[in-house]
Amino acid sequence: MKAFLLFVFVLLVTTSVFSQKKYFTRNGNISFNAGTAVEDIDGVNTTATSIFDATSGQIEFAVLLKGFEFKRALMQDHFNENYMESDKYPKSIFKGKIVNIDKVNFEKDGSYPVTVKGTLDMHGVKKDVETNGMLKVAGQSVTSNAEFSVLLADYNIVIPSLVKDKVSKTATIKVNCNYSLLK
């Protein structure tokens, strides 16, 4: 009887450990484009961190605004000082869930379409966002790809009327992360 209980206990512990399978990256790529026909405005950040739980589908992304790189120095200054106010709001964080995580087989290589719902915290404003993306499983590593748009006004990001032809009212955000299993 004691041996049986021990067996059950070990089984419970191992399954709960197994269900805690998490994937992590500290060099995620997050880029945005807010350009118009008049001017190309884009920035890229290659040090975003992201973690997700392969069982529950809980997913998080975090990025430092000061880490966005631009083609032009002035663009970076305006981004940090006028638009994002990076000293006041140094981070942007997304917390959400892959709602159809049960459709992803992490034991089998392939591309799986996923839907992510959650809250984007940017420029001191929290708003719900939802987007479709892809999870690509290849052995122990998983790659995520997603693209979505945000309305800058929703996040209290004000575009001065002087440059309103140059800066788009919406920004397209692209996410590309290469995860490895968290041990």
Partner 1 sequence: MKRLKKILTPLLLLVLAAAGYGWYAFNKKPADVRQQSADMEIKAKDLLQLFQQNEAAANARYVDKVIVVSGVVLSMQTDAEGKTTLSLDTGDPMATVTCSFYNEETAALKQINKGNPVRVKGICTGMLSDVILNKCSLVK
| Site residues for partner 1 per CB under 8 A | 26-27, 29, 46-47, 49, 62-64, 66-67, 69-74, 76, 87, 90-91, 178
Q: How far is the CB of 100 from partner 1 (least distance, A)?
A: 26
Shortest spacing between CB 68 and partner 1, in angstroms: 9
Least distance CB 50 / partner 1 (angstroms): 10
Nearer to partner 1, 76 or 149 (CB): 76
* Burial class (CB within 10 angstroms; exposed 0-12, middle 13-18, buried 19+) of 67: middle
Q: How far is the CB of 114 from partner 1 (least distance, A)?
A: 21
Residue of 174, 120, 124, 172 lying closest to 151 (CA atoms): 172
CB closer to partner 1 out of 36 and 49: 49
Nearer to partner 1, 64 or 181 (CB): 64
Beta strands in 54-183 (DSSP E): 58-64, 69-70, 91-98, 110-122, 125-138, 141-151, 170-181
Q: Tokens 């512990």 — which residue? A: 13
